[in-house]
Amino acid sequence: MAEAKDAEILVAGGGMVGLAFAVALAEAGLEVVVVDCMDPARQRDEAFDGRSSAIARGSQQALQVLGLWQGMASAAAPILDIRISDGRLGTGRAGGASALHLHFSHSEVASEEDARPLGYIVENAAIRRAVLDRARALARIDLRAPADFAEVIRRPGGVTARLSDGTTLKACLLVAADGRGSDQRAAAGIKVTEIGYGQTAIVATVAHSLPHGGVAHEHFLPSGPFALLPMTDAADETGKPLHRSSLVWTERRELVAAMMALDEQGFAAELQRRFGDSLGELSLWGGRRWTHPLSLLHAERYIDTRLALIGDAAHVMPPIGAQGLNLGLRDVAALAECIVDARRLGLDVGSATVLERYQRWRRLDNVALIAATDSLNRLFSNDLPPVRLLRDLGLAAVNRMPPLKRFFMRHAMGLVGDLPRLVKGETL
């Protein structure tokens, strides 16, 4: 006989956001089933992704409360400073960077009691391993992977799903964390706004001969942002410490194939030409490179009958400011809080009232950051001399205004706005 199982929440998607959401609910006492089409063993492989993610202070606090941070802390490199500069291709210590720049330091927002960094850079492979291990350790999470949905029926009274192996699942709510191409979003008829940029991100890990000092570099070139983000040190074949940074190189799509075809020495030379030698000699670490076409995507709504969208199923943005995963984790914290609060009051956790509270809470924050990211990408991917001059002067002006700098820093740290309890470091 085919298996039948009841749960309070059904999650479509077992990636970083989907499993973090499941952990948040399970920690609060809810029964959760997570269905993902991919074998978890593949997600644990370092070759699967290659990217690293910025974890803002607020996101780190949420992960800490959920018991997830402990599984990735050893792979987390603190961001002590952020240096944003405009530039062109060049040579020398700073490459073609403008002398006018914007510099954020954690010391400008730190107190005597709290000198924590602005955030952390963590390899996605380490994040995936941490959330998978935590999810498997919680009895209230039933992870079905690899598994596929054969049918999903959402009615006012609840959700019934049938898997391809014949298993029937029933729940009060379906949460779609199944990525930018979300099947559940499409099945609900939720339209999206999507903008292509004609840009592709080249992602790799870069080794350099000088230590990064916890500084994240965002260097804007005519083709798009060129970022080197601090990572934990590794060891070379002799056991000597090796300094590393995560590369996110945004390039015009028509040039990407040529850059990817370069051998390691040629690729390193192009890196040096764009960044300069402030970190010493640059080289490709691990020999692997990945590409990710860039676009913006935003769902016209985040909810439907017994359905809520979180993470990339609701919004995708270019990597400027490295806020993508942080927005997804704030979705997790807000929706989990809405559900847990309703459950404690004896209310239906999948009701329209609960879902509308979630949508109101998250939509404004997401729309504001998506609009800002889109504007910055267009502003800085432009080499017109008047535009270059204005943005250089703008960076320099902000750099000389401490109150405005502190506001921007707290915003980047995820500590501005109507924050969910988890993001404030509180339990649900």
Q: Give the Cα separation of 208 and 281 in Å (integer).
A: 5
Model confidence at 373: pLDDT above 60: yes
Residues 13-51: tens digit of each pLDDT: 999 999 999 999 999 999 999 999 999 888 877 778 888
In terms of pLDDT, which residue wins out, 406 or 167?
A: 167
pTM: 0.91
Residue 247 confidence (pLDDT): 96
Residue 393 confidence (pLDDT): 62
Q: Give the Cα separation of 49 and 291 in Å (integer).
A: 10
In sequence order, what are the beta bridge partners of 416? none
Q: Please report, for the chain, the start and end positions of each structural domain, with discontinuous segments joined by +.
A: 4-74+122-194+296-381, 77-118+196-295
By mean pLDDT, which of 179-188, 294-303, 387-396 is the weakest?
387-396
Question: Residues 30, 362, 229, 104: is their CA dihedral positive or negative?
Answer: negative
Q: Give the residue-averaged pLDDT of 250-261.
A: 94
Edge-to-edge strands, sheet with 52-56? 52-56, 119-123, 76-79
Single out the residue of 311, 336, 324, 200 nearest to residue 255, CA to CA: 200
Residues 278-319: tens digit of each pLDDT: 999 999 998 899 999 988 999 999 999 999 999 999 999 877
Sequence-distant (6+) residues with CB within 8 A of 341 are none
Residue 111 confidence (pLDDT): 60
Q: Provide the pLDDT confidence category of residue 92 given band limits of 50, 70 and 90.
A: very low
Percent of the chain with pLDDT over 90: 66
Amino acid at 342: A
**Assigned fold of 77-118+196-295:** D-Amino Acid Oxidase; Chain A, domain 2 (3.30.9)
Q: Give the Cα separation of 160 and 306 in Å (integer).
A: 10
* CATH code of the region 4-74+122-194+296-381: 3.50.50.60
Kindly report the length of the chain.
428
Q: Give the residue-averaged pLDDT of 187-192.
A: 98
User: Residue 376 — left, alpha, or beta (φ > 0 → left; ψ -120 to 50 → alpha)?
Assistant: alpha
Contact indicator for 243, 208 with CB cutoff of 8 Å: yes
Residue 102 confidence (pLDDT): 78
The single residue listed with the structure tokens 């006492």 is 29
Residue 85 confidence (pLDDT): 80
For residue 9, CA distances in Å to 283, 338, 355, 399 come to 46, 13, 13, 46
